[in-house]
Structure 1
Amino acid sequence: MEIYLIRHGIAQEREIGIPDEVRSLTNKGKDKTRQVAGRLYDLGVRFDVVLTSPLVRSRQTAEILHEYKLSREITESAHLAPNGSIYDWLDWLKAQQYPQQTQLALVGHQPNLGQWAEILVWGEDRARLILKKAGIIGLTLPETDSPIGQAQLFWLTPPKFLL
C-alpha cells in the first residue's frame, strides 16, 4: 500500500477571534495547491481515496486534489486532525481491509504528518522531517499487521520541486 502524506496549502494566519478549525486556504494557498495538483496529475499520480483532516484548510486542499481528478472520493478522518494518533489511525486502517495495491492520500497538518512518517519509517518520532505546506511524503507500507518502523520512504518533496 502506498500512502501520500500531504500537508494542507497556505492558510490564513492564526488570529484572535478565528478558531483554528475554520482557518481557510488563502488565495495564494489555493493557487499553489492547484499547481501541485496539476503537476501530480501530469506525473500520473492517482489516489483511490483522499482522507482529510476535518479542519477547513485540509478539506479545501483535499477538494482541490479531487477537482484535479486525482481521487475518486474524499473521506474525513478525525485521526488526521492536529494531535491525531497514528496508532488509532493504523487500527482504523487495518479494519478497512484495503487491498495492498491501494493508494491513499492523507491530507493533514505539521508536525503530525512528519511525525507519522518518522514513526512508520524509523519506529519513532525523531522530529526531523518537516513537511512544507502543500508538500508530500510518499511511503510504501508493508503487508503486515504493524507497519511501524517498516515503511519505505519513496518521496519527500516540498512544493517548489513540483512547480
Structure 2
Amino acid sequence: MTQLYLIRHGIAAERGEYTNDAERPLIEKGREKTTKVAQRLKEMGIQFEIILTSPLVRAYQTAEILQKVGLTEKVERFNPLSPDGDLLDWVKWWSNSGYNKENSCLALVGHQPDLGNWAEMLLWGRSEEKLIVKKAGIIGLSLPQQETPVGNSELFLLSSPKWLS
C-alpha cells in the first residue's frame, strides 16, 4: 500500500492583511509549529518520495519547511491542491505517476476543507465534511494499489499539531 499524508499548511497571516488570498504567508508562529511537526515526523522515521503542494504561498512555505527538515528532496507545486481542487485529478496523477507502488510514501500539502473532504472521499467514497484538519495537522491514509483508492483507503493517522510537537 502507498502511505499518503495529507498535511494542512501552517498558521498564515490574516485574510484582511493581503488583497490576494494566494499570497498570504506563514506567520512566525506558523513556521515554528510546522517545524516542530516536521521534526517529529523525521524522528518517527518518515521519508516522503515527493511532496506535492498547493501553489498558494502558505502551503508552499509549509512544504519547504518539511523539505528543509529532511523529509523529502522533491517538492512540486500541484494546482489541484489549490482551494476547491478536484481529488480525481490527483487520483489520475497518482495512478500514472510511478508512485503508485508498494511501500511508496507521499505527502500532499493543502487547505481545509479540501484535505478533510479528500480524506473522506478516499475512505468512504463520499464527503460529508466531518473530518477537520487543523493548521499543520495531518491525516495519514493507506491506499490500495490494485483498485481505485476512492472509497477503499484506510486511515492510520489523524493528528493535530499539538500531538506531534
TM-score by length of 1: 0.97
User: How many angstroms does 1:24 deviate by?
Assistant: 0.3
In structure 1, the residue matched to 2:40 is 39
Structure 1 residues 30 and 17, CA gap change in structure 2 (3 angstroms): closer
5+ unaligned residues in a row in structure 1: which ranges? none
Q: Are 2:49 and 2:72, in contact at CA under 8 Å, matched by a contact in 1?
A: yes
1:30 equivalent in alignment to 2:28 = no
5+ unaligned residues in a row in structure 2: which ranges? none
In structure 2, the residue matched to 1:21 is 22
In structure 2, the residue matched to 1:124 is 126
In structure 1, the residue matched to 2:67 is 66
Q: Are 1:94 and 1:145, in contact at CA under 8 Å, matched by a contact in 2?
A: no
TM-score by length of 2: 0.96
Letter in 2 for 1:63: E
User: How many angstroms does 1:16 deviate by?
Assistant: 6.2
Letter in 2 for 1:93: W
Any idea what the Cα deviations from partners look like across 1:50-106, whole Å, max 9, x if unmatched? 100000000000000000000121011001000000011111111213232210000
Matches for 1:8-157 after TM superposition, within 5 Å? 8-15=9-16, 17-98=18-99, 99-157=101-159
Instruction: Among all aligned residue pairs of Structure 1 and Structure 2, give the percentage whose two residues are the same amino acid.
Output: 49
Letter in 1 for 2:102: Q
Q: Deviation above 4 Å: which 4+ runs of structure 1?
A: none
